Amino acid sequence: MLIDSVQVECFLCAAKYLNFSKAADYLYISQPVLSRRILRLEQELGVELFDRSGRSLELTENGKKFQKFFERVSGEFNVLIEDINSAESVTKRQLRIGVCEGIDLSKYIRVILSGFAEINPNIEIVFDSGPVESLLENFKRGHYDIVIMLKVTIENYLKSGIVSKIKIFDLLHVHKCVIYSTNNPLYGKENLRLEDFADQNMYCLKKEHVPQKVLSQGELLENHNISPKIKFLSSMDSIYMALQIGAGFSIFDNHERILNSNDIEHFDLEETQEISMVVSDEMSKNVTEFVNYCLSLKL
């Protein structure tokens, strides 16, 4: 017996309207097509479903029985599909996290993900990376549930009004550090201090939020009583290339991905900063569970 859902749909629609023309119009097919499908269904079942002898179309007794049967089966089928889709939506809950470019959270993320996955196996975490401006724009559009960046950066954007209705949770405590290459004249010397680099170029990222960065670094340099010549470059790659050439240094944080390079050296300063999680003021259940877990670790 070969019965398909299209034949059943045509039959139920014709049984509802008791008019092949109206049923065909409702299904956006021609009347001959609908009639052929119902005829094939009758042939497969071995019974007549409609009494076509009178002026109006009527269901036969067998037709009424099959109408009830197919309506019940179709209803149960739709409920089953809804249940399956609902279950899959639960098992495939997704948390989208954007991380500011340059930040290296690899050793922390492994700790977070392994433990969080045990408690919340139904939540899939997807990471992405990008510049601050792009992350915040996508966060406002709802593309990210959480963004991770320096706390001072997001506070500056919050003060400027670029972002609003957010909550900030501190994730990591990081040190500022001096970055230089193995080609630097000071490479190999012990007990280096920031003051030792006073006569060298200091490379800084040139971005939209650079005034705040310069202010922060300016206060740091003032605290160490040095005034190097500051060179603005457009990307971390540009800074990396400049450092490789030789004389020159940068001040970033000891989470920076550039520190993983074999020809880059660094040492920590006393100054510290926070890397924080930014979430919407109205946190979803997934976000709340992730934030609470991260805070419980006290990284």
* Residue 112: pLDDT over 90: no
Q: Give the amino acid at 278.
A: V
Please write the tens of the pLDDT for every residue from 67-106: 999 999 888 877 877 776 555 555 557 899 999 877 777 7
Q: What is the per-residue pLDDT for 114?
A: 82
Torsion on CA atoms 210, 216, 219, 225, rounded to nearest 10? -70
Closest by Cα among 178, 171, 152 to 279: 171
Phi, psi of 194 (to 5 degrees): -60, -35
Give the chain's count of helices (H) and strands (E). Answer: 10, 10
Please write the tens of the pLDDT for every residue from 251-277: 887 666 677 778 889 898 888 888 899
Look up the pTM and report it: 0.55
More confident residue, 6 or 166: 166
Q: What is the per-residue pLDDT for 162?
A: 78
Query: Both tokens of residue 297?
Result: 């670790």
Q: Are 18 and 59 in contact (CB under 8 A)?
A: yes
d(CA 73, CA 13): 15
Q: In percent, how much of the chain has pLDDT > 90?
A: 32
Q: Look at residue 55 and give its three-state secondary structure.
A: coil
The DSSP result for 222-251, as a single string, is HHTT--PEEEEESSHHHHHHHHHHSS-BEE
**Average pLDDT of every residue of the chain:** 84
More confident residue, 295 or 210: 295
* Residue 216: pLDDT over 60: no
Query: What is the pLDDT averaged over residues 117-130?
Result: 86
The DSSP result for 105-155, as a single string, is -HHHHHHHHHHHHHH-TTEEEEEEEE-HHHHHHHHHTTS-SEEEEEHHHHH
Closest by Cα among 95, 85, 11 to 48: 11
Other CB atoms within 10 Å distance of the CB of residue 204: 18
Please write the tens of the pLDDT for every residue from 221-253: 888 888 898 888 877 788 888 998 888 999 887
Q: Are 213 and 204 in contact (CB under 8 A)?
A: yes
Who contacts 189 (Cβ-Cβ below 8 Å, separation ≥6)?
196
Query: What is the pLDDT averaged over residues 92-121?
Result: 82
Q: Are 179 and 266 in contact (CB under 8 A)?
A: yes
Who contacts 58 (Cβ-Cβ below 8 Å, separation ≥6)?
18, 50, 51
More confident residue, 170 or 101: 170
Q: What is the per-residue pLDDT for 240?
A: 86
Q: Are 259 and 175 in contact (CB under 8 A)?
A: no
